[in-house]
Homo-oligomer: A and B are copies of this chain.
Amino acid sequence: MGDKATADFSLEPTRNKEFIINAKEPFNAEPTPERLIQSFVTPTEHFYVRNHAPVPLVQESSYFLKIDGLVGKPLLLSIDDIKQQFEKVTITAHLQCAGNRRTMMSDYKKVKGVGWGIASLSNGVWAGCRLRDVLEKANAFPVGNGAKHACFWGLDVGCPEDEGKPYGSSITMEKAMDINGDVILAYEMNGETLTRDHGYPLRVIAPGIIGARSVKWLDKITVSSEESTSFFQRRDYKIFHSGVDWNNVEQYWDKTPSLQELSIQSAICIPAPNSHLFLPFSIYGYATSGGGRKIERVDVSLDGGETWDYAELMGEEKGNSNKYWGWTLFRYTIKSLATNHHHTTGNKSSIPIRICCRAWDSASNTQPKDVKDIWNLRGVMNNYSKS
């Protein structure tokens, strides 16, 4: 399947040595959980990297973005065109891989995919032009008039899962054209030119939906009546029900919708599992939701989910129009431990506790308790709360 053998990884950029590397080729890496939440905006060198192929080496001088498909006026745009012809907008948004926390899903039953811990997400500041403005300039057909999907293709040829094709993905035209949807074509990340690992010279940032739709090294936008024909839209990045396995998955490909908006999520980054803690101590973590929904509340439990208390929310920042694209960090400080609902070891100074957390968003959605309830073959959208 594909020409993985011919993929050339000799021109990969230099990466941060602190990364936890989940796959070398294509490169997939996440920061340590402790490192992840040191700041509200993740520094670029610590921002998780999810690649599907070798990183393309793009020369800005010969780069043109193509816009075609159901448009009245196909366009070819240089980076200068994009900077000069369209208003520059800046948004703060987190990106999160649909595979975040996948490794923990395999604890219940083996799933297939790049193994990710709890840090395949990061929070960034992105600047570029609105996708909406570009599509309007191309006279994209109106939504409902056949134009249903904005399909993105990258310059990263050589995806082993898709017969060596470049990475591709699509979003709905409603999201693409929504004035409060904040989809941008970004040429800056955290105030600087995009780095190669993050999509230089131009990438999609589609906030509130799975990271897989924010295509890097953007080559072409095709407005279509159909979703992207890419493997990553039609076969992968779907939640199959728990009865689907590798023997019957084919019959579920077409009838299972492709993932778009992120679900409600949270994780504890500090302390690390199996830490020895001394009173008082604090628990730190992140919480996120999709669609710009606000994190209203994070609950922390010290007894594996039997009883809960509210954590303190920190560093929340909203985008335009009351959309919360960024993550929310939280803290919960423990000054003393009641022993009534904990196992004691007989040694009063050492009490085992089972810390877990769950977030609630502005739509009153919360995380499922058990991995079993959301287990799926591809290990996507893992957001169970039990420790």
Contact = CB atoms under 8 A, between A and B. Distances in A.
Interface of A: 143, 172, 174, 178, 180, 239, 241-243, 255-257, 259-264, 289-291, 293, 296-297, 299, 305, 307-310, 321-322, 360, 362-366, 368-370, 373-374, 381
A180 B374 CA distance: 31
A92 to B, nearest CB: 16
B322 A243 contact: no
Contacts of A310: 241, 255
A386 B192 CA distance: 50
A287 to B, nearest CB: 14
B241 A308 contact: yes
Contacts of A362: 257, 260-261
A363 B362 CA distance: 13
Contacts of A180: 178, 180
A262 B373 contact: no
Contact of A364 (B174, B239, B321, B322): B239
Nearest to A175: B322
Nearest to A370: B369
A344 B322 CA distance: 54
- In this complex, which of A259, A363, A368 has the most chain B Cβ atoms within 10 angstroms of its Cβ? A363
A291 B363 CA distance: 8
Contacts of A262: 363-364
A172 B290 contact: no
A80 B321 CA distance: 33
B364 A261 contact: yes
Contacts of A290: 363-364
A174 B322 contact: yes
A174 B296 contact: no
Contact of A369 (B263, B297, B368): B368
Given A143-B321, A257-B296, A261-B364, 11 more contacts: A178-B321, A241-B297, A241-B308, A255-B310, A257-B297, A257-B362, A261-B362, A263-B363, A263-B365, A365-B365, A368-B369
A217 to B, nearest CB: 27
Contacts of A305: 373
22 contacts: A143-B321, A172-B322, A174-B322, A178-B321, A239-B364, A241-B297, A241-B299, A243-B308, A243-B309, A257-B296, A259-B364, A261-B293, A261-B362, A263-B364, A291-B291, A291-B363, A366-B368, A366-B373, A366-B374, A368-B368, A368-B369, A369-B373
